[in-house]
Amino acid sequence: MLIKVKNKDTLLFDDFIFRCVVGKKGISAKKVEGDFCTPKGSFKLKTVFYRSDRVKNIKTKLDVKRIQPGMGWCNDPKNKKYNSLININENIKHEKLYRKDNKYDILIVIDYNLRKPIPFKGSAIFIHLTKNFSETAGCIALSKKDLLILLKLVNKKTKIKIF
């Protein structure tokens, strides 16, 4: 099972065509932390995180975790916890997962630079929500309706190919 992101605004899975948005500077094989590019390549899907106060009944075969107020994702290339889930600490640069906006009400972690992360290669690459389809900092974003449909269709063997 393969999800395909063929260009900056189309995500394909089986017979489904979803409108999406990618990084502000497009798709790149040479992803660097903070470059606003979505990484090119083929990657596994990892854990689904969600806000249980905003989203009910997530149906998926992927592993699922509730987002708690103290959760963050380390985006500090100089930190040993780079590109991993952390408890928010003011001394570590991070992306908050528990946000005021709805962007991370549901997100899927993409297995990009996760195992033995290479500093400055890029972090916090997710499939997350969008309401207005404005470009991302490097993630892929879908409408809530479409992401909920996609979650029902994918499983732990599903990969995403970004090209």
* Residue 146: how many other CB atoms lie within 10 Å: 19
Structural contact between residues 83 and 108, judged by C-beta atoms closer than 8 angstroms: no
- pTM of the complete model: 0.97
Give CA separation, 5 vs 32, 42, 102, in Å.
19, 10, 22
Determine the Cα–Cα distance for residues 57 and 75; give it in Å rounded to an integer.
Answer: 30
pLDDT over 90 at 7, yes or no: no
Determine the Cα–Cα distance for residues 50 and 34; give it in Å rounded to an integer.
Answer: 24
* Residue 29: how many other CB atoms lie within 10 Å: 10
Report the domain count for the chain.
Answer: 1
pLDDT in tens, 10-59: 999 999 999 999 999 999 999 999 999 999 999 999 999 999 999 998 99
What's the whole-number average pLDDT of the chain? 97
44 is in which domain, residue-wise?
2-162
- What was the pLDDT predicted at 64? 98
